[in-house]
Structure 1
Amino acid sequence: MSFPKTGSSIQVQSYKHNGTLHRIWEETIVLKGTSNIVIGGNDRILVKESDGRHWRTREPAICYFDSEKWFNTIGMIRSDGIYYYCNLGTPFTWDKEALKYIDYDLDIKVFPDMTYAILDEDEYEQHRKLMNYPPELDAIIQASMTELISWITQRKGPFDPHFVEMWYERFLQYRD
């Protein structure tokens, strides 16, 4: 299997459990692409929603996707610090068209002081019932939430204080 090449521009696509397209991020520069992780960078990119709406991101961001973890992270670089938006979802897949994952609604927003808020629990519960998530899936999502919170509190992986800064410096080398 091939993986996205460093320096290439890829699309990121998220889906819902029932297979419907949820959201597309048009352009992310691959800073590292292996069988286990993809780290990407983007800045003010176009995002298309499944309902036809579209918008642009507001700031530079460093994205972390893992082939074994049921979450991904977006470190957003703002004037007052780094904020993270973390999606609970399947490990990524890569099919030469795009990096893809299933989004399971639950999110965690992490603030520059590393406090966090769990978001969209009601949406997760609604979709869990509507799309009949099996109990095994619910258990994986809940365990992944616990693991993600552990990573945040331990400042592990993308939450390491230097992770976003280091990868942002690399991203700047690829920008036009």
Structure 2
Amino acid sequence: MVKERGPREGDFITIKSYKHDGSLHRTWRDTMVLKTSENAIIGVNDHTLVTEDDGRRWVTREPAIVYFHKHYWFNIIAMIRDNGVSYYCNLASPYVLDKEALKYIDYDLDVKVYPDGEKRLLDVDEYEAHGKQWHYSKETDKILKENVKVLVDWINEGKGPFSKEYIDLWYSRYQELSRRADS
């Protein structure tokens, strides 16, 4: 059996987030892949076209390093801004990747981290409303709450995407790949 090749460094993929009921939530076109491993994908969005479920379209304003994992119930977006790095972390199912896109289920809860280190848990009301509407299981609820703790530990410890070295390394790699593509 031949193992299907995943995306390679410099390839572009589409990212699709869904809601628990299977409805499409948001699509990012042309995310550049920086690294794939057995369990994770690191990419970058920079002036990337985003389409909302209602058809509204917009373009990301700044470069953002994106991190997806096959085992953790969150993904991380590190937005590189003039005043520092801001993080938007989605509590979400681990990703799956097929020929069409990298896909995950967005579970509404988000953790925002500001450049000064302030953290905020967002959209708790939306999570509770959708949990009732779509009957999130006790197991799903428990997994998501445990993963909020893991995520906050990563933030507090400066682990992975939350370290300056990580951002510097992957942003530098992105700039190198972009220069190569332009020449």
TM-score normalised by L of structure 1: 0.97
SS in 2 for 1:96: coil
**1:13 maps to 2:16:** yes
Shift of 1:119: 0.6
Greater relative contact order (CA < 8 Å, ≥ 6 in sequence):
1
- Residue of structure 2 equivalent to 1:143: 146
Identity of aligned residues (%): 51
Structure 1 runs of 4+ with >2 Å offset: none
Superposition map of 1:5-154 within 5 A: 5-154=8-157
Q: Does 1:173 align with 2:176?
A: yes
Q: Distance in 1 between matches of 2:69 and 2:75?
A: 7
Contact 1:6 1:31 (C-alpha < 8 Å) held by counterparts:
yes
Q: Which has the larger radius of gyration?
A: 2
One-letter code aligned to 1:9: F
Contact 1:4 1:96 in 2 (8 A): no
RMSD: 0.9
Aligned residues: 176
User: How far off its partner does 1:130 sit?
Assistant: 0.2
Segments of structure 2 that go 5 or more residues without pairing to the other structure are: none
Aligned counterpart, 2:160:
157
Letter of the 2:158 counterpart: R
